[in-house]
Amino acid sequence: MIDEDQSWASGAACAGIEPDALFVRGAAQRQARQLCFTCPVRMQCLAEALSSNTSFGVWGGLTERERRALVRRYPGVRDWAEWLRGDDDELVAELRAQRPPRIIARIRATSTA
């Protein structure tokens, strides 16, 4: 479910940054996503990107590759904002941490366990 109210975006840490700085590839993504971990609306941003299947750029601290892995791992999630508010999944705690999450490694570990 996509949130029609986008007012959260005005409070984003990247609101005043040139968008090209967030739509980068490779190693430059690490630098772009560091800003996300200082952002007060990071979870709203991530929920929006997951809900809308945003394919490019760093959103909510995750790269497009990480978001794709998350969507593949949880195909039944219909409301990402609600899922991210949950507290019964270790991966949600990892996503909420104020550091880059190890999404790919964690997903691989849980799918092989």
Q: pLDDT tens digits for the chain (113 residues)?
A: 555 667 888 889 988 888 888 888 888 888 888 889 889 999 999 999 999 998 888 999 999 999 999 999 999 999 999 999 987 778 888 888 877 777 777 777 766 65
Domain assignment present for 62? yes
When divided into structural domains, the chain yields a total of 1
Domain assignment present for 3? no
Domain assignment present for 63? yes
Amino acid at 74: Y
Helices (H) and strands (E) in the chain, counts: 6, 0
Amino acid at 77: V
Domain assignment present for 93? yes
Whole-number pLDDT of residue 34: 87
Domain assignment present for 53? yes
Whole-number pLDDT of residue 42: 94
Domain that holds residue 31: 8-112
Whole-number pLDDT of residue 9: 86
pTM, full prediction: 0.83
Domain assignment present for 2? no
Whole-number pLDDT of residue 4: 63
* 63 in Cβ contact with 71 (< 8 Å): no
Judged by DSSP in three states, 62 sits in: strand
Domain assignment present for 1? no
For 84, other C-beta atoms within 10 Å of its C-beta total 20
Domain assignment present for 54? yes
Whole-number pLDDT of residue 2: 52
